[in-house]
Amino acid sequence: MKAIKLASVFAVSAVAAAVSTSTFAAEPVFSGEAGLEYTSYYGDSKAKNDLADGTDVGEVELSIDTGIVYAEIEVATTGADEGTSVNFEKLYVKQGAVSFGRFDGSVAANAFMGMDEIGYTGIDLRTAQGDTDNTGLRYAVAPGLTVALEATTNSTDDSDVGAAISYVADLEGIKLGISGGAIGDANAVNVGAQFNAGPATFSLNYGTGERGTDPATTDVEEVGFGIEFAATEALTLTLQYAKDLEGVNEEDGTYFVASYGAGDLTYYFENYNGVYAGVEKNVLGVTASF
């Protein structure tokens, strides 16, 4: 009954927004980066081959916003000759406060802030049919408050359909957020805070929930901490830490990067340390953005 009422709210809002929305065209925006980096593995990852790479470090993105349709296209590569693919990262329709299509993420994880570098961005909605990145219907109720219907996409079975909600309050110098949702037998709750202290930005996050479909659901729980420090106008230092609280070994890991901009180029050093960070490696590179 609740799901039917929520769907009715979306439908009425969409019609009202469609009547009041005007159409305009916008120029496409290209962005991306190109460069070169060298990766050296150590510790438990020492068996991996050290790698010099001038392909995977680069990317090209095309963003198009017509006022009604927003598209974000990414050109990616495997590094092999002619191993390039073109993918829609986002592709959705905007009608006033309502938007629907592909959003590349779940509203349930919106409150998990400032942890993009380490690759852990909160507990999302995920059943045995997959995650909900590909299909969503969102309604911006008020500034910072979003409710959504989300669905899994799987060609071998029916889609799971669920709901998510997030509220992120953007105050002076601080953001506070809570978000969550449920789909099928899966659920998620995330809370986060981000605040500025002079040249430093701190992020604190916690997420918990369940993934999968009964009888094979799995508890998930993680915490994250990050600090970004602008040492000078050119030098930025970032440290992130994440810990899996439900894994067999409760794995954790850190990510550190020092980034220095000089003219058109950005030089950087990265260190991944711990299983939770993915691998144990050092990365030295230089890029230019466009």
Tell me the average pLDDT across 16-23. Answer: 41
pLDDT of residue 130: 92
| The residue type at 88 | F
Tell me the average pLDDT across 37-50. Answer: 92
Which percentage of the chain shows pLDDT scores above 70? 89
- Give Cα 45 to chain centroid, integer Å: 26
What pLDDT, in 10s, does the model give residues 109-136? 999 998 876 667 889 999 999 999 999 9
Tell me the average pLDDT across 265-276. Answer: 90
pLDDT of residue 220: 94
Q: Which residues of 268-283 are buried (b: 16+ CB within 10 A; e: fewer)?
A: bebbbbbbbbebbbbb
- On the 0-12 / 13-18 / 19+ scale of CB atoms within 10 A, 142 is exposed
pLDDT of residue 278: 65
What pLDDT, in 10s, does the model give residues 217-262? 999 999 999 999 999 999 999 999 999 898 767 788 899 999 999 9
Tell me the average pLDDT across 149-176. Answer: 92
Structure-model confidence comparison of residues 6 and 240, the more confident one:
240
For the cut 90, the answer to whether the pLDDT of residue 85 exceeds it is no
Write the CA distances from 113 to 61, 109, 130, 202, 256, integer angstroms.
Answer: 23, 9, 23, 10, 17
- Cα 195 from Cα 118, distance rounded (Å): 19
Which percentage of the chain shows pLDDT scores above 90? 70
**Three-state DSSP class for 113?**
coil
pLDDT of residue 23: 47
pLDDT of residue 221: 95
Tell me the average pLDDT across 180-207. Answer: 97
- Give Cα 68 to chain centroid, integer Å: 23
Residue located via tokens 């990510």: 255
Tell me the average pLDDT across 276-284. Answer: 83
For the cut 80, the answer to whether the pLDDT of residue 19 exceeds it is no
- Cα 149 from Cα 22, distance rounded (Å): 25
Give the dihedral sign, CA 113/148/69/88. positive
**Three-state DSSP class for 101?**
strand
For the cut 60, the answer to whether the pLDDT of residue 93 exceeds it is yes
pLDDT of residue 78: 72
Return all residues near 65 (Cβ < 8 A) that are at least 6 apart.
Answer: 26, 71
Per-residue confidence band for 18, with pLDDT thresholds at 50, 70 and 90: very low
Residue located via tokens 């992130």: 240
Tell me the average pLDDT across 193-207. Answer: 96
pLDDT of residue 282: 96
Kindly report the average pLDDT of the chain as a whole number.
87
For the cut 50, the answer to whether the pLDDT of residue 51 exceeds it is yes
End-to-end CA gap in the chain = 50
pLDDT of residue 82: 73
pLDDT of residue 1: 34
Q: What is the DSSP string of 242-275?
A: EEESSSSS--EEEEEEEEEEETTEEEEEEEEESG
pLDDT of residue 248: 66
